[in-house]
Structures are given as structure tokens and as C-alpha cells.
Chains A and B, each alone.
Chain A
């Protein structure tokens, strides 16, 4: 019986955050600190003829200015195709040309205006299909597309297949081929990007107060960029005001800030304005997906064949690797006997995409789940039924080699079908101005980390001090998602130490052990397992000393209320620690542990069991469409997710609701509007995020499958809630109107245009679908 796990616990440092006392990057002020500002290109595609900084340098208060000519640095990015400061050419509207450090932010911004740049404007390439043409010039001079992929503008390419595609096509009764277009959206963290850098020129050490999600990879990347030794770089993470994947890559402004600090000899801080945040921070990958899928006369899936063209933008980030995740959904979301997957990321003069919660999976799932509805419609089968007969199951080893040792796919589907009154809504006649619809969407995502880097591990150091307080030093990171709280809960559960006596230290690379970073919904899983490993070691130490002190033989101690107990024997934990310290063996009560998940690298064909376990979820979303205004209103969201085991219910619910809000925005309102490489809506006024009044009622039904790989049976949960949301909403709108949307967001304008099209939808088109049969 668990005392702590499974019960709601408040956020560990929630009081600091809710009282304004938490220190974010924006709140840091160091003595003699300068403020940095970056000059970005005026045109998305141009040659730089000359840069004149003389007027800016003579402005009172300006301490230093850097351009590409002043620095000796390496390119950055996943493909090392991205110069920190640009010279010769600029390739997208984010491009950094010069940076200023000045006594105040106002002076730095003014100095930027005084830098004179002469450009020769070039015609840019903003369409990836155009970029692939033979006659189109090369966009990124460092790109290796010609050598690696046979096209100069190809940045990255993935191919995957399993099964016999032709055989499965021949078996198919229904084949659906559709083209889907996904927009560019952005993280829109409420805290804008920020960094503070300080260089110690006595020992050549650089300290960065950075919001990175991956401090140890970041340390390595900054070191490579600046030609420094990684260990001379100390990364301190202040409280981070939102991540969602945006801080997985190191971005040019970060080494630029370091360079300004090195050159000026003073600390320098760069804070983005909201406009700069929209223009210069990463986006989700926009892409065009052409998906062909088939099923036999019983509705059993036969094959999936997909070709994806991703708009990489001008440079290559981690975002180019999203096909790792996408191919998992194409190959393994539902049972798929044969699959062929091709994805190409293509350079354009658009801004480059990065990673974003879900990592390609919302795009893939949108196409898969839309095609499923179309196949059901063609067969005259219920959209619920077709999903249930194809759903993943426990024990399945998919064509890609993913092994589902536990699997909540069918229970999740059944739950949302039942709870949403799916059959009843589908059977209700639907006429008049307001049309209601319900749509289904499911998803598969990694739940136990993802072995894409050489290690997917996490280190933990534990210390119990002479007074019985526990310090957990973890390699993992807190970006607001609540991992610190879960770690403290695990320690409370195992060691019986109250929350008030637990400290979590996780913000300093000079102190904390290695961890790959916060991504892939991995933190509670990997850091939790790492902590459990460390607790096992510290219990061995405590047990050995307690046995000696109490003169008993046991390894079956109960840890509760700061005590260790066995039958009638009991002793205070802090007393054991003091005896260990001040008497024999004169040791501190400290341990180190490193956890590496049991997952495997995929082979060169991308096959293998890449995660410690897998998360499954289904959503049934009910919408109401106003056929006069075109507005889509989300009424109810029913979400059921295989989380393995619920650790902190209130934290988990928060992940669900937050993910859903981002997913609903992706489905209905959010889009970065670019015209020839220039962003037209760089503000919260023009970029429509959901507000409190847009949020529907969320009904969450966790499925507990107790997967042995996870801490207490749990699985990663953070990304999943937004992955099937757009798919389910698109299906719901389609069911409401009888007209389908193949691109996101489904804006009022698109709805009205579709309703006014020459072939208006038939009322209640899909309402003849058969009800779901009962499954055991």
C-alpha cells in the first residue's frame, strides 16, 4: 500500500512561483551587467555587401559590437550548417548579423538601429517543392544534400519499411490516398528567451544562466561553437518559464551572448521581446504528408505508405529528426502489416523549425486518424469499430520492433467511446445552424525515454545530513512540468522522510550528475528510476549501520516519519546517519547512482525496441460548429491515457489539460503567417492562443497498466495529451458538417469556404454509421 505515490501533492516550489519570488532569467541582475541586443537581417534572402558599425560604436554607453568578422567560432545545429553570426549571405528573416552590448537595453537597441548594412536582395525560395527543383539555387552553403541525398537542397532524409507492401495492397478492399498540410506554429512560452553570460578571464571559465532543457548537451554544443573545453562552461538553469521543446536546441543568441561577455569582460544579458520571440524562436515543423492506407473487407488495416516533405527552413535543428517519432506512429499505431515511410526535410528561406512537444507526432497522427475515418466511411463501418479491431495489444511486437509489454490502447479507446456517448451523438440528427459532432483520435508515443543519443540515462546523488534532511541531486531538469515534485514524492514514499525535509538540487552542471535532458516525456521515468536505484544504495548503508546499532538481523526495515523500524526495534534515521559519520566507519550518508534504461538503439533500418515502455491514449472530442460564422467550439474532451501508473494525480491532470490546450490551438486557431519568408503576425494579438474562455471541459480517465520498466509501473505522459487532439477535432468537425479538412488550423474562414463550395456537404453524411459492437 502506497502512502505517497498516487495521492495529489502540491508543486514542490509552488509557493515561490505563485508569490513572485522564483527567480527567472528575466530577474537576474549581476554587478556591472551589460545588456545585449541582436541585429537581424532586413531581408530573408540577400547578400551582405557591407556592414558599418562605426556610428553604433560611437554611441555613448555602447561597450562592444561583434559581427562574423570579429569572432572565431564553429557552425552550430544538428547538421552544423548554421553560422552563429552571418556573413556573405543571409538565408531567413531570423538571421543574426551583429550584436551589441551596452550599459542599458535602450542603448543597445538604439545602437542596433545605427548599424548600417548594405544588402543585395535576392529572390528567396519559400516553397520546399520549389526548392527541390533542379533549377533552384542552393540555399544553405553548408548543406550536404547533394552528396548525401542527391539533391542540393535536401537537409535530411529518412526511409523506413516493413512487411510486403504489394501483397498487402492486393489484399485491400479500400485504399485511401490523401494529402495533408500542417502549419507552422510556435511554443509561445510566456517567459521569452533569455540568457545571462559571465566570463572569468583568469581561468577562462564561462558561466551561463540559461533556460536550456538539455544542459549537458548544451554545454557540449556551446563548447563546440566557441572552441572551448566543455568542462570550462558552467550552465546554471534559473527557473524556466516554459519549454515545450523550444529549448532542446542551442540557438545563436546564446553563444552570441557568451561572445559579448568574453569581449566586453563584463556579464551580459539578452532578453527577447515578444516580437523577437515570435520571429526568432523555433517552430513546429510545417509539412506536407501524402498518406495512402488500406484495409480489407473486414476493416483490418493492410498497409500504410507515406511520403513527407518537411519545410526545414534555412538551417537544420533537432527538429529534422522528428521522423524518428513519426515513423513509429506510421509503423505501429494500430496493427499495420506493411509500412513504407519516406520523409525529406528540405531547405527553404523560411525560418528553421525546431522540436515541439509531440515531436512530429501530432502531424503524423492527424494524417493517420483522418485516413482511418475515411476508410471506415468507405466501408460503411463505424469509426469506433474500425479502431477497436485494429488497436494495439499487450505482447505485440510491431513491424518496427517496438515491444508492447503492457498496452492500454483498447481500454483507452473503449473508455472514451463510452464516456463521450459517441454512439448517441453519432445517431442524433444534425441539422440547423449549430451542428454537433464527435471525433476520435488515438496515439502511440514513447513512455520510457528514447534511445537516440549514446546514453538515455540520468544520474542521482543522494545525501542524508546529520539532521535527517535529504538532498536529492538529480541530473534531470524542471521546466514547470513537476518532475521535482515526483522525485520528492518517491523519496517520501521510500525513505519516510517528510516533504519539508527534502531538497531537490537540479540546476547546475558543475554540481549535478549527467542526464540527457528534458524531452521525450522521459523525466519522471528516467530520473525516477535513477532515484529509486540511489535509494536502494542508501538504504543498504542505513541498514548496515542500524543492524549494528540495534543488534538485530534484518533487511526488512520500515521507513516512516524519519524512523527506521523492524518489529519492536526502532531508531531515528538522523541518529543512524550521525553514528555513521562520527563513529565507525566515519562515512557520510551519501550515494551515487546512474540509471541507463533497458531500451535499445535502433539499427540502420530504424528497427528496434527504442523505449523502456510505450504510452497509448485515445481522445473523443465533441465540437459544435456554427454554420453561420464558421466558428468551431470544442465542448467536451474525453481523454483516456495509459500512464502505466498515476504518480501525482494533480500533476498528471495538469499535463493533460495543458497539452490539450496546445492541441486545440493547433487544431483551430494557431498559425504563423509568412509571406515570402517574413512573419506577418509576430504578437499575441495576431497569433491566436486559447484563452480561459475557450477551454472546454476536460474529462480524464487514466489507464493503469503497471509496466515493470517504469517507477511503480509508470510511463511517460507529458507529450501525449496534445498528440491526437487535432486529429480528433478534425474528425469531429467532419462528422458535424460532412465535409473534411486536410489542413490545420480549421479556422472559421476555412469552414465557411468549405460550406460555400460548389459541392456542399450532405447533411448528416456520416450519421448512418453503424453503432459499435461490444468487445470483450
Chain B
């Protein structure tokens, strides 16, 4: 079947099998390797991408569901003026990256959440920030620095 969607700001049309997962479309077909496969069972969040403003696990999402929608992957955060998004800058400043395999997922989850909070004029509490990251596993950092970085986005 034919799929038309916007990825990282560009409309693309792609022929796919109906069973194709979004993560496979992103990593294998479009060769965007920044989205990481951590578990392929919707538990670890390493493959998080943003679809129409919501962070989702791309391993649990059929590619056909993005038809007509806007998808942002970690590669979509880069532009000529700013090679890193503010969320990424904050993660580096706070030492929130160790092995880094969970980092793109952490960035996308934090970006989606902070975009919504900022749009609604809300500054979330630390507990709310923690809750927003609950679906993303990390084995290196103990989360503290990632939470610090996500909180710093509002400062």
C-alpha cells in the first residue's frame, strides 16, 4: 500500500507492506538510525518518536497509522542554526548521557512533553517530569540527571 506522510518536515510517499512497523520504516526503509531498538515490545522507550505532537513507541505502532501525519525523529531536531535542540543541550549540560542508547528516546519524550507544557503555559513539578519519563528505561544514569535536564528546559 501507499503511504504519504511528513517526516522531519518533508512530505514523502512510500510503498509499504501493511504489517510494517513504524520503527522499521524509520530505521530500515528511511535509514534514519538515530531511533533505537531497545526491546521491540513497548517497554523501554528507546524508539520514541513524535507523531502529531505525541511521543509514541515506534516499535508498537504500525507504519500505516502515520498516513497523512507528521512524524519527527531525533534527526528532525537538527537545523542549520541549531545543531542541537534545547532539550539535548540540557541533557549534555546536566550529564544525562552515558552509553547514550536510551538518549534519543529520552530526548523525544522530553521534547513532546515540554512542547505541550510550554504551549499550555504550564511549568510541571519535578514529580510530573518524573512521571513523563516513566516509559523510558535507562540502565546507566539512575535517571536523576535526565530528570534534572528535563526540568531545566523550563528555566
- A residues touching B (Cβ–Cβ < 8 Å)? 8, 10-11, 14-24, 26-27, 187-192, 239-244, 273-274, 479-482, 650-651, 653-654, 656-662, 683-685, 689-693, 695, 698
Shortest CB–CB separation between residue A263 and chain B, in angstroms? 25
Report if B124 contacts A (CB, 8 A): no
- Enumerate B85-107 residues with CB–CB distance to A below 8 Å: 88, 91-95, 97-104, 107
Please state if A15 and B101 are interface contacts (CB–CB under 8 Å).
no
Given contacts A18-B88, A653-B145, A658-B142, contact A191 B103 (CB under 8 A): no
When the two chains form their complex, are residues A650 and B94 in contact, meaning their CB atoms are under 8 A apart? yes
18 new A-B contacts at CB < 8 Å, known A11-B95, A190-B102, A653-B95: A15-B92, A18-B100, A18-B104, A19-B34, A20-B34, A21-B34, A191-B36, A191-B99, A241-B101, A242-B139, A244-B139, A651-B95, A657-B141, A658-B142, A691-B133, A692-B133, A692-B147, A695-B130
B140 cross-chain contacts in A, Cβ below 8 A: 190, 242, 480, 654, 658
CA separation between A187 and B139, bound complex, in Å? Answer: 8
B window 21-46: CB within 8 A of A:
32-41, 43-44, 46
| B152 in the interface (beta carbon within 8 A) | no
B84 is an interface residue with CB less than 8 A from chain A: yes
Q: Does the CB pair B142–A698 fall under 8 Å?
A: yes
Contacts of A656 in B (CB 8 A): 142
- How far does the Cβ of B154 sit from chain A's closest Cβ, in whole Å? 17
Give the Cβ gap from A160 to chain B, nearest Cβ, in Å.
Answer: 33
Residue from B40, B88, B98, B137 having most chain A Cβ neighbours under 10 A: B98
Say yes or no for B78: interface residue by CB 8 A criterion: yes
B16 in contact (CB, < 8 A): no
Tell whether, in the assembled complex, residue B100 and residue A692 are in contact, meaning their CB atoms are under 8 Å apart. no
The interface residues of chain A lying within 8 Å CB-to-CB of B102 are 190
* B93 vs chain A, min Cβ distance (A): 7
Report how far A22 CA is from B36 CA in the complex, Å: 11
The 8 A CB mask of B54-69 against A (1 = contact, 0 = none) is 0000000000000000
Chain B residue contacts of A658, Cβ below 8 A: 98, 139-142
Q: A190-B101, A662-B139 are in contact. Are A18 and B84 (CB under 8 A)?
A: yes
Identify the 7 closest CB pairs spanning chains A and B, nearest first: A20-B34, A17-B100, A480-B99, A657-B142, A241-B101, A661-B142, A684-B43
Bound Cα distance A24, B36 (Å): 9
Are A657 and B88 closer than 8 Å at their CB atoms? no
Which of A244, A683, A693 has a CB less than 8 Å from the CB of B130? A693
> How far does the alpha carbon of A360 sit from the alpha carbon of B3 in the complex, in Å?
53
A23 touches B33 (CB 8 A): yes
Contact: B143 with A695, CB < 8 Å?
yes
Q: Are A274 and B84 also in contact (CB < 8 A) when A188-B139, A658-B142 are?
A: no
| A–B pairs, 19, beta carbons within 8 Å | A17-B99, A18-B88, A19-B75, A19-B77, A19-B104, A20-B35, A26-B37, A189-B101, A190-B46, A191-B38, A243-B99, A273-B40, A274-B44, A480-B98, A691-B143, A692-B136, A692-B143, A692-B146, A693-B127
A19/B83 in contact, CB under 8 A: yes
Q: How far is the CB of A39 from chain B (nearest CB, A)?
A: 20
- Known A-B contacts A240-B99, A650-B94; the reply to A19 vs B84 at CB < 8 A is yes
Q: Which residues of B contact A240 (CB under 8 A)?
A: 99
- Taking CB atoms, residues of chain A closer than 8 Å to B37 are 26, 192
Evaluate contact between A695 and B40: CB separation under 8 angstroms: no
- B115 contacts partner chain A, Cβ-Cβ < 8 Å: no
Q: Which of B46, B93, B137 contacts A10 (CB 8 A)?
A: B93
Contact residues in A for B39 (Cβ distance below 8 Å): 274, 683-684
With A18-B92, A190-B137, A244-B139 already in contact, the answer to whether A481 and B147 are too (CB < 8 A) is no
User: In this complex, what residue of A is CB-closest to B141?
Assistant: A658
Please report the C-alpha to C-alpha distance between residue A73 and residue B84 in the assembled complex, in whole angstroms: 48
Known: A189-B99, A657-B143. A18 touches B46 (CB 8 A): no
Given contacts A24-B36, A26-B37, contact A650 B95 (CB under 8 A): yes
User: Are the C-beta atoms of A692 and B134 separated by less than 8 Å?
Assistant: yes
Indicate if B144 sits at the interface (CB-CB under 8 A). yes
In whole Å, how far is B85's beta carbon from the nearest beta carbon of chain A?
9
> Contact between A241 and B100 (Cβ–Cβ < 8 Å)?
yes
Instruction: Give the most central of A187, A241, A481: most B CB within 10 Å.
Output: A241
Complex contact B97–A18 (CB within 8 A): yes
> A672 CB to closest chain B CB, in angstroms?
15
B148 to chain A, nearest CB (A): 10
Measured CA separation A189–B46 after assembly (Å): 12
- B16 to chain A: closest CB distance in Å? 15
| B74 interface contact, C-beta 8 A | yes
When distances are taken between beta carbons in the complex, the residues of chain A under 8 Å from B104 are 18-20
Q: Is the CB of B134 within 8 A of A691?
A: yes
A657 and B34 in contact, given A190-B137, A242-B101, A480-B100 (Cβ under 8 angstroms): no
Kindly state whether residue B138 has any CB partner on chain A within 8 Å: yes
Least Cβ distance of A532 to chain B in Å?
A: 24
B131 within 8 A of A: yes
Checking A17, A684, A691 against B103 with a beta-carbon cut-off of 8 angstroms, the contacting residue is: A17
**CB-contact partner of A274 in B35, B40, B75, B143, under 8 A:** B40
Task: Output the least CB separation between A618 and chain B (Å).
Answer: 18
Among residues of B, the one whose C-beta sits closest to the C-beta of A480 is: B99
State how many angstroms separate the Cβ of A34 from the closest Cβ of chain B. 15
* B93, B97, B102, B140, most chain A CB atoms within 10 A: B140
Shortest CB-to-CB span from A687 to chain B, Å, is 10
With both beta carbons as reference points, the residue of chain B lying nearest to A278 in the complex is identified as B39
Name the one of B36, B94, B131, B133 contacting A26, with C-beta atoms under 8 angstroms. B36
Question: Which chain B residues lie closer than 8 Å to A239 at the CB level?
Answer: 99-100
Are A692 and B101 neighbours in the complex by a CB distance under 8 Å? no
Contact B43 A685 (CB under 8 A): yes
Q: How far is the CB of A573 from chain B (nearest CB, A)?
A: 28
A661 to B145, CA, bound (A): 12
Interface centre among B33, B36, B137, B144 (most CB of A within 10 A): B144
Q: How far is the CB of B17 from chain A (nearest CB, A)?
A: 11
Q: Which of A14, A19, A190 contacts B139 (CB 8 A)?
A: A190
Which residues of chain A come closer than 8 Å to B131, judged between CB atoms?
692-693
Contact B97 A17 (CB under 8 A): yes
Q: How far is the CB of B30 from chain A (nearest CB, A)?
A: 13
CA distance A712 to B99 in the complex (A): 26
In the bound complex, residues from chain B placing their C-beta under 8 Å from that of A11 are: 92, 95, 97-98
In the complex, what residue of chain B is closest to A695 when comparing beta carbons?
A: B143
A213 to B130, CA, bound (A): 32
Contacts of A17 in B (CB 8 A): 97, 99-100, 103
Closest residue of A by beta carbon distance from B88: A18
Determine the chain B residues whose CB is within 8 A of the CB of A187 once the complex forms. Answer: 139
* Alpha-carbon distance between A11 and B97 when the two chains are bound, in angstroms: 8
B95 touches A190 (CB 8 A): no
List the A residue with the shortest CB-CB distance to B37: A26
A552 to chain B, nearest CB (A): 42
Chain A residue with Cβ nearest B133: A692
- CB < 8 Å: which of A15, A683, A689, A695 contacts B144? A695
Given contacts A8-B95, A241-B99, A650-B94, contact A15 B84 (CB under 8 A): yes
Q: Which residues of A contact B98 (CB under 8 A)?
A: 11, 480-482, 654, 658
Q: Report A617 CB to chain B, min CB distance, Å.
A: 15
- Using known A-B contacts A654-B98, A660-B142, determine if residue A274 contacts B41 with beta carbons closer than 8 Å: yes
The CA of A274 and the CA of B36, in the complex, are separated in Å by 13
Nearest CB to that of B147 among chain A residues?
A692
Please name all residues of chain A whose beta carbon is closer than 8 Å to the beta carbon of B38 when the two chains form the complex: 190-192, 274
B103 → chain A, closest Cβ, in Å? 5
A526 to B108, CA, bound (A): 37
> Of A19, A26, A482, which is in contact with the most chain B CB atoms at under 10 Å from its CB?
A19
Nearest chain A CB to B78 CB, angstrom units: 7
**B75 lies within 8 A of A20 (CB):** yes
Complex CA distance for A353 and B92, rounded to whole angstroms: 35
